[in-house]
Amino acid sequence: MTQIKLETGILKANDDVASQLKQLFQEKGIKVINLISSPGAGKTTLLEHSIPKLINKFRVGVIEGDVLTTRDADRIAKLNIPVVQIETKGACHLDANMVMKAVKQLDLDNLDLIIIENVGNLVCPAVFELAEDAKVVVLSVAEGSDKPAKYPTVFTRAKVCILNKMDLLPYSNFSLDDFYEDLKRINPRLKVFEVSAIKDTGLESWLEWLEGMMVNGGKKN
Ligand SMILES: Nc1nc2c(ncn2[C@@H]2O[C@H](COP(=O)(O)OP(=O)(O)OP(=O)(O)O)[C@@H](O)[C@H]2O)c(=O)[nH]1
Ligand SMILES: [Mg+2]
């Protein structure tokens, strides 16, 4: 019982800071994406291949969340866009307080979109709101088609699923049929884009969705 109360308290405290962040983002006219996946599903690679196609239309900044190292921020910095690395030093997810600190290092008057790459984990990041307009979950085919059924929360709360590493499909036992069948039950509204981030294939529909979200504020898509 005590444990449940503590958890509720932590999430409530997080939601309070997330509300302040939401107001700040609205005042500045900034849209926010919270990118979630298990370690290594391809979040940073997706950003490396998506951002160059976005920066002629939108001013993009990235907040990188990792347990340790600035390696992902170093990769994103090569795109010559603003990036802030949060090292959680052990925590398995980002929370709104960490994001509040990170946004203070960004020039919010000169940004249209902030993409937050969460810590690699399919469980905890799903429940900590970061004032995002949309959660985007990345699943790679190498992880197996049973993941939505086994870790449903993130797939329920996300608006988009990037099914990545499609180039590895012939070498895996990932069943597209099982995957889509489970999603019909878990979240029939989830938009799925099949891509290979590293090969730069299938990204057009995902980028189109992103542009739609920028224009419509995520309400219509
Ligand atoms: N074959 C294949 N490999 C990929 C693809 N996308 C990413 N990778 C590889 O997968 C590994 C992990 O990619 P990252 O982009 O670092 O994954 P991540 O989700 O950001 O990882 P964390 O930040 O550690 O959680 C790297 O070796 C990438 O080169 C893809 O579409 N196909
Ligand atoms: Mg990464």
Q: Give me the sign of the Cα torsion angle 188, 163, 151, 44.
A: negative
Helix, strand, or coil (residue 66):
strand
Q: Could you tell me how far CA 111 lies from the centroid of its own chain?
A: 18
Angle at the Cα of 164 from the Cα atoms of 207 and 48, rounded to 5 degrees: 55
Number of Cβ atoms within 10 Å of the Cβ of 149: 15
Task: Give the domain range for residue 164.
Answer: 2-215
Question: Any idea what the CATH number is for the domain that residue 170 is in?
Answer: 3.40.50.300
* 157: in domain: yes
Confidence of residue 174 (pLDDT cuts 50, 70, 90): very high
Confidence of residue 22 (pLDDT cuts 50, 70, 90): very high
> Is residue 32 within 8 Å of residue 100, measured between CB atoms?
no
Ligand 1 pocket member 187 (CB < 6 A): no
Q: 85 CA distance to ligand 2 centroid (A)?
A: 11
Q: Is residue 128 predicted with pLDDT exceeding 70?
A: yes
User: b vs e for 65-94, b when ≥16 Cβ sit within 10 Å of the residue's Cβ?
Assistant: bbeeeeebbebbeeeebbbbbbbbeebebb
215 versus 170: the higher-pLDDT residue is 170
Kindly report the average pLDDT of the chain as a whole number. Answer: 95
* 39: in domain: yes
Ligand 1 pocket member 42 (CB < 6 A): yes
pTM > 0.85: yes
Residue nearest to atom 2 of ligand 1 (CA): 165
Q: What is the DSSP letter of 165?
A: -
Angle at the Cα of 73 from the Cα atoms of 107 and 158, rounded to 5 degrees: 85
* 220: in domain: no
* 205: in domain: yes
* 64: in domain: yes
Q: Is residue 2 predicted with pLDDT exceeding 70?
A: no
Q: Which two tokens stand for residue 152?
A: 């449903």
- Half-sphere exposure for 162 (CA within 13 Å, toward CB): 33
User: Each residue of 79-123: pLDDT tens digit?
Assistant: 999 999 999 999 999 999 999 999 999 999 999 999 999 999 999
* 13: in domain: yes
Ligand 1 pocket member 50 (CB < 6 A): no
Q: 1 CA distance to ligand 2 centroid (A)?
A: 36
C-alpha distance across the termini of the chain, in Å: 39
Ligand 1 pocket member 72 (CB < 6 A): yes
Ligand 1 pocket member 34 (CB < 6 A): no
Number of Cβ atoms within 10 Å of the Cβ of 62: 27
Q: Which residues neighbour 198 within 8 Å (Cβ) at sequence distance 6 or greater?
A: 42, 45, 49, 165, 167
* 221: in domain: no
Confidence of residue 221 (pLDDT cuts 50, 70, 90): very low
| Number of domains present in the structure of the chain | 1
User: Each residue of 26-57: pLDDT tens digit?
Assistant: 999 999 999 999 999 999 999 999 999 999 99
